[in-house]
């Protein structure tokens, strides 16, 4: 095999970097579009319920919002995990191979913004509003409508519990310590820190 055909560790790491960044970019687009889809669905269900004067139609909001919210949350977590992997593992290995102090400065620099924390809090609030508060308000309107049936009240109670569960997960995933744990748990082989012992 000639030298031209020889693949170096550095080349493999650069290919891995490009691959994970492509995945991250795709997930960012998908995640951001989920908010628009959620807003569209919310508007459509609320409008249909108001037009038909059927408060029970609002019971469609919680399952849709929980499914979309969970999908949004999972994608957001993977986006953060990729960033943590690049910052905490892939970047330092490439820097060591290149004999450089550090590489991919943007991966760290954009996180040092003084307003980052307030943006994270605002984003958490927006996520809670879109995926939890609005569907819960729909449940309240249904409960106060006076047009409730036993089966639908039970169903709406289960929906309320799932909305609260999603809200708890949104807050837990928004906590800054989450990205630190993700960085420690990701390994190049895809195994967790615990299993790589």
The confidence score (pLDDT) of residue 6 equals: 64
The tens digit of pLDDT for each residue in 95-152 reads 888 888 888 878 877 777 788 888 889 999 999 999 999 999 999 999 999 888 889 9
For 64, residues 6+ apart whose C-beta sits below 8 A from its C-beta are 38, 41, 45, 135
Question: 82 to each of 76, 77, 121, how far by Cα in Å?
Answer: 10, 9, 21
For 2, residues 6+ apart whose C-beta sits below 8 A from its C-beta are none
More confident residue, 193 or 55: 55
- The full set of domain ranges for the chain reads 7-184
Please give the Cα distance from 137 to 133 (Å, whole number).
6
Angular region, 104: left φ>0, alpha ψ -120 to 50, beta rest: left
Pick from 141, 160, 136, 131: nearest CA to 65:
131
The confidence score (pLDDT) of residue 108 equals: 77
The confidence score (pLDDT) of residue 62 equals: 97
> What's the gap between Cα 149 and its chain centre?
35
The tens digit of pLDDT for each residue in 149-178 reads 889 999 999 999 999 999 999 999 987 654
The confidence score (pLDDT) of residue 147 equals: 82
pTM (2 d.p.): 0.79
The confidence score (pLDDT) of residue 105 equals: 79
* Largest CA-CA distance found in the chain, in angstroms, rounded: 80
DSSP assignment letter at 129 = I
The tens digit of pLDDT for each residue in 54-93 reads 999 999 999 999 999 999 999 999 999 999 999 989 989 9
């Amino acid at each position: 095999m000639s030298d031209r055909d020889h693949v170096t560790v550095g080349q493999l790491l650069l290919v891995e970097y490009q691959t994970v960044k492509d995945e991250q970019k795709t997930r960012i687009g998908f995640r951001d579009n989920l908010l628009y889809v959620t807003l569209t669905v919310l508007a459509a269900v609320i409008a249909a319920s108001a037009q038909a004067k059927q408060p029970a139609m609002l019971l469609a909001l919680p399952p849709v919002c929980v499914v979309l919210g969970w999908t949004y949350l999972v994608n957001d977590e993977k986006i953060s995990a990729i960033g943590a992997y690049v910052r905490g593992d892939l970047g330092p290995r490439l820097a060591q191979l290149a004999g450089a102090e550090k590489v991919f400065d943007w991966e760290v620099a954009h996180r040092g913004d003084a307003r980052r924390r307030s943006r994270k809090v605002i984003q958490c609030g927006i996520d809670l509003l879109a995926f939890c508060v609005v569907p819960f308000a729909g449940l309240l309107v249904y409960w106060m409508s006076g047009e409730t049936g036993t089966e639908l009240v039970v169903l709406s109670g289960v929906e309320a519990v799932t909305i609260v569960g999603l809200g708890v997960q949104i807050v837990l995933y928004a906590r800054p310590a989450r990205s630190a744990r993700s960085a420690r748990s990701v390994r190049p082989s895809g195994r967790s820190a615990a299993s790589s012992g």
